[in-house]
Amino acid sequence: MFFTRLLSSVVLVVIALVTLLGGGYLLAAVLLFISFVAYHELSKACGIHADGQKVNILEATGMAGIAAYYGLVAFTDSQEAQMLAVLLTMIALMVVYVFTFPKYQSFQVMTAFFSFVYGPVMFSFIYKTRELRYGIYLVWMIFISSWVCDSCAYLTGILIGRHKLTPKLSPKKSVEGAIGGVAGSVLIGAVYGYFIVERLVPEQEITWVFAVISGAGAVISQIGDLAASAIKRNHNIKDYGHLIPGHGGIMDRFDSVIFTAPMIYGLALLLMK
């Protein structure tokens, strides 16, 4: 299992390097694929379709909304058009609900829209961050703040963890681990900013900005991790999927990244000149 997880991690790093450095349509296409998978995993876990059923019209409507939304993200800069696509997806889901009544329950329609926003829309902020000025450097903060936090929290928790963070939801996570994860992310973010980006952005001091961005991303990444775990516990599943050997599905591997992406994007807009 260890070597399976290691090999999968290496492959994920290579894919991340290629797509994030390349950016543009390549990144948008990869995120579109990831969003389709994440949407299917989450909708299946939350009961949008019956056991054994692959895709129904409700889920297919959500997938059409994902395709339309990413088309607008990739080919336009209009935030209004992208928001309109989100709203029209909700309306389309309600149209399905009304004209197939009583085939679907209201919770299935609400879950379909929730799954559309929770995975695909939030994933799109990786692309949005990459498209910002200095986005080729900023986009890495999404992954640094989440994955470094996860590793540092794990190590700190093993060494000095005493107080449970969420005893009923995730008994192994500790308050000390959470603090250690944030501290580690702040440190690595600052190091990355100082040694890699500082000299490339002469008009602004970058180190403190990246430290703040990384710290805030680390805090919210832990909420993302716990939120994904809570959904799995509510629905009595171990993993969302099996796409990534040793890691589970897209929602298992990228649960924290989903939350850090919009956080890093928003902070970059606020703090970067």
Angle among Cα 137, 138, 139 to the nearest 5 degrees reads: 95
User: What's the CA gap between 231 and 105, in Å, rounded?
Assistant: 19
Mean pLDDT to the nearest integer, 220-233: 93
Stated pTM of the model: 0.94
**Is pLDDT of 2 > 70?**
no
Please report the pLDDT score of residue 47 as a whole number: 78
**Is pLDDT of 3 > 70?**
no
Each residue's pLDDT tens digit, 13-44: 788 889 988 999 999 999 999 999 999 999 88
Long-range contacts of 172-175 (CB under 8 A, 24+ apart): 173/226
Mean pLDDT to the nearest integer, 236-257: 84
Please report the pLDDT score of residue 203 as a whole number: 81
How far CA 94 is from CA of 12, 58, 83, 106, 109, in Å, comes to: 37, 9, 17, 9, 7
How far CA 271 is from CA of 164, 200, 204, in Å, comes to: 34, 16, 10
In contact, 122 and 258? CB cutoff 8 Å: yes
User: What's the CA gap between 67 and 72, in Å, rounded?
Assistant: 9
Each residue's pLDDT tens digit, 170-211: 888 999 999 999 999 999 999 999 999 998 888 888 999 999
Please report the pLDDT score of residue 249 as a whole number: 87
**Is pLDDT of 54 > 90?**
no
User: What's the CA gap between 182 and 190, in Å, rounded?
Assistant: 12
Percent of the chain past pLDDT 90, that is, above it, reads 70
Question: Which is nearest to 252 in space by CA: 227, 235, 218?
Answer: 227
In contact, 79 and 95? CB cutoff 8 Å: no
User: What's the CA gap between 125 and 257, in Å, rounded?
Assistant: 10
- Identity of residue 166: T
Please report the pLDDT score of residue 53 as a whole number: 61
Residues forming beta bridges with residue 170, ordered by sequence position: 166
Each residue's pLDDT tens digit, 138-152: 999 999 999 899 989
Q: Look up residue 168 and give its two tokens.
A: 């009923």
Please report the pLDDT score of residue 41 as a whole number: 92
Write the CB contacts of 186 (distance below 8 Å, at least 6 apart in sequence). 211, 214, 215, 218
Considering the chain, what is the average pLDDT of its residues? Answer: 90
Each residue's pLDDT tens digit, 151-166: 899 999 999 988 999 9
Question: Which is nearest to 112 in space by CA: 157, 66, 166?
Answer: 66
